[in-house]
Chain A
Amino acid sequence: MIIEASKCQYCFPVGVEEAYRLKQQYGEQARFIAGGTDLLLLMERENIHPHLLIDLTRIPALHRLEVSNGRVLIGSAVTYSRLLSFEPLLSGVSFLAKAIRTIGGVQIRNIATLAGNLINASPAGDTLPPLYCLEAEIGIDGPLGLRCLPIREFVRGVRKTALAPSELVTQVYFDLPGPGWYGTFEKLGLRRAMAIAVASVSLMLKVEDRKITQARIALGAVAPTVIRVPEAESCLSMQSLDDQTIDKAAHLSAATCTPIDDVRASSRYRKEAVRGLVRRGLRVLRNQINAQE
């Protein structure tokens, strides 16, 4: 039997308040849409038929993309392609740009947004490990007013976020890493282009007088959310990157994560992948650091 899909309206609010008021009014029957590359798949797979799609991409305030006082502000309607032509991002956080380049193809990056990747809250979301390393903050607006959450509090689980029903993400913020910081992103997929991560790793190190004074390691696709691994991070403290230290951090990272078995890889394989990716990433950083000296 063919059931006729119920009719769906589509609107372009011009302001953030207008957008969340509409959502409030229609409740569960309405969905926000920015790029829509995740939402359209979700609607198809889960047979969701909203009565209203609220398109956020014609709200000028959500297209802000700027750096002030060393802090980057990315509006939630800014596409990946626009980010990849934003010089401060390419030079200041090249590992985030590297993560973005592994997402989909040009056609996806021309329409999909960084905020959408966050809201989708997949543990395999490619931009999430870099954003966890950068300790990004998420700007939220809604009927209860503005609020800002650290990324670790924003993402609550597999496809779960801290957003209340009528709230929307307006901005993503993070500080540009200052002098002495080095960062990288490493991903293992089944194919270089278009493929979801089997495991991914982002690393940031601060080096002073040849010693690591701060380390951040974020792992993707190996737990219900992206995770930081404090044990592995602290084992790097006040060390230099010799092979032994690198192996130890790689081992601790693999030991901490709790990956699942699925069609793409087994848990054991993913743990080995984490070990390999952390080792590879730390070697990349060692080369970057040596090149600076």
Chain B
Amino acid sequence: METLEMTINGKAVVLELDGMRSLVDVLRDDLGLTGTKIGCREGECGACTVLLDGQAVNSCLVPAMKAHGRSVITIEGIGTVETPHPVQTAFAEAGGVQCGYCTPGFVLSAVALLESNQQPSVDEVCEALEGNLCRCTGYKRIVQGVIDAANQMLAFEQVDLKG
């Protein structure tokens, strides 16, 4: 058994676990963070996307121990029903959510993109979402959601600067 110490959604946790277990299993089964979904378990679908030190990764392909001493953000750390993240609001408003299974992964990929690029082009959004599959929406409304969220966040920021 190994000891894993990490920060998850801003909270420090310590776990004892087998070194081969994947991050997604530890998040879902040990920590009860079931917002992170399992689609393919082979890094193809992106449903299990989380942020590891701010970077989007497929948590099915990451041994949990890689998070040792690092910070993990899951969908539970992004927003709540009462206080959604602008990306979540924009996805809902643009119709970027249908069955919803892929949505947490898409939201995390989008949040990671907007951290490094505040005004992405449609092409840049598509590249950032390349590793996320959606079988319902046809992607257009998801991409629109990210663009809308970027505009919204920039507008907030400008209000902040003025205010």
A residues near B, CB below 8 A?
Answer: 5, 7-10, 12, 33, 36-37, 40-41, 43-44, 49-50, 52-53, 55, 57, 81, 101, 104-108, 110-111, 193-194
Contact = CB atoms under 8 A, between A and B. Distances in A.
B19 A10 contact: yes
B43 interface: yes
A50 B43 contact: no
A18 B127 CA distance: 39
A194 B131 CA distance: 7
B94 interface: no
Interface in B81-138: 109, 112, 127-132
Contacts of A10: 2, 19-20, 63, 65
A40 B65 contact: no
A131 B58 CA distance: 27
A7 B18 contact: yes
Q: Chain B contact residues (Cβ within 8 angstroms of A): what range?
A: 20 to 34
Contact of A53 (B63, B131, B132): B63
B148 to A, nearest CB: 20
Interface of B: 1-2, 18-20, 22, 41-44, 46, 49, 52, 55-58, 60-63, 65-66, 68, 109, 112, 127-132
B57 A111 contact: yes
A107 B57 contact: yes
Contacts of B22: 40
Contacts of A105: 46, 129-132
A36 B130 contact: no
B2 A9 contact: yes
B20 A5 contact: yes
Contacts of B132: 105
Given A9-B2, A55-B65, A111-B57, A106 B20 contact: no
